[in-house]
Amino acid sequence: MVFVLLLAVTLSSPFAQEVQDAYAHQKPDRLRSLLSEADARADSFLVRYRLYPLTEDASILDALPSELPDGSARELALLSGLWSYRAGEASFFRKVQYGRRSANLLEQAKAKDAEDPYVLLVGGQSLLFRPAIAGRDVQKAAAWFEQLATMADAVEGIPIMEAKVWQWFALKQDGDVDAAARLRDRLMNRDPAPLYRQFLEDPPEI
């Protein structure tokens, strides 16, 4: 029984890898199919977390729980990321409300396991994109992504390439031009998947 309960709050590895492959190769239809197949709550959160940036379809963010008292660190981090996406869609008042909700969920995730890979991934992204008044910290984000890269080989669903691409972006935002350029050259030489190549060639504006 304990084993079954553990499965319910962790990502099933083959599923997470399928999600990553569809995401990295920009296949939203495949992700929608995987969403319909997701049995575990964590898997459902993961697919939506990967699908929304490819489609910006607000319906993907419908019916998100505002709290997750029994959630694992990984579930809380992914839910935090989903609420962050929803904040980006919202009016000013809702944006503040949803942003705080996202931040609270991330703090709960960190309290449960600050070194969970998805906590590092979502937390690093949050540090990059939150307003300065809310604690934007690109140097800390770069350090988190660097830490994530050291464990990514053992994590289904987060390749080293993703961790390093985000580390590059954080270095770029921090103005560390030389380090960012060297890292970008190394990553481009590894023939990144289409999504990561596009990110390296045309990163988002902050």
Does residue 1 surpass a pLDDT of 90?
Answer: no
Q: From the CB of residue 185, how many other CB atoms can be counted at a distance below 10 Å? A: 11
My answer on whether 21 and 95 are in the same domain is yes
Do both 89 and 157 map to the same domain? no
Q: Are residues 102 and 148 in the same domain?
A: no
| Amino acid 5: pLDDT | 28
The mean pLDDT value of the chain amounts to: 91
Predicted pLDDT at 154: 65
Same domain for 167 and 99, yes or no, is no
Each residue's pLDDT tens digit, 98-150? 999 999 999 999 999 999 999 999 999 999 998 888 889 999 999 999 999 99
> Among the three residues 99, 114, 129, which one is the final residue of a domain in this structure?
114
Q: Who wins on pLDDT, 23 or 1?
A: 23
Q: Is position 130 within any domain?
A: no
Same domain, 4 and 97: yes
Based on the domain organization, do 169 and 98 belong to the same domain?
Answer: no
Indicate if 97 and 145 belong to the same structural domain. no
In this prediction, residues 66-84 reach a mean pLDDT of: 97
Lookup result for tokens 């709290």:
67
- Would you give the distance in Å from CA 196 to the centre of its chain? 14
**Both 181 and 103 in a single domain?**
no
Q: Has residue 152 got a pLDDT over 80?
A: no
The structure's pTM equals 0.91
- Tokens representing 184 are 């970008």
Residue 61 DSSP label = G
Asked if residue 122 belongs to a domain, the reply is no
Is residue 177 over pLDDT 90? yes
Residue 13 lies in a domain: yes
Residue 23 located in a structural domain:
yes
Cα Rg for the chain, rounded, in angstroms? 16
Residue 203 per-residue DSSP state: P
Contacts of 77 (CB under 8 A, 6+ apart): 105, 106, 109, 116, 118, 119, 121, 122, 123
pLDDT interval class at 3 (50, 70, 90): very low
Residues 52 and 5 grouped into a single domain: yes
Is the CB of residue 69 less than 8 Å from the CB of residue 38?
Answer: no
How many domains does the structure of the chain reveal? Answer: 2
Are 25 and 101 within one domain?
A: yes
Same domain, 16 and 72: yes
Residue 124, in any domain of the structure: no
Residues 88 and 15 in one domain: yes
Residues contacting 9, CB < 8 A, separation 6+: 40, 41, 42, 70, 71, 72, 74, 75
pLDDT of residue 12: 47
**pLDDT band per the 50, 70, 90 thresholds, residue 6:** very low
Q: Which domain holds residue 205?
A: 141-206
User: CA-based angle 87:114:192, to the nearest 5?
Assistant: 70
In a domain, 150, yes or no: yes
- List the single range of 71-75, 87-91, 179-183 with lowest mean pLDDT: 87-91
Average pLDDT over residues 40-53: 97
Tokens of 54: 């490819």
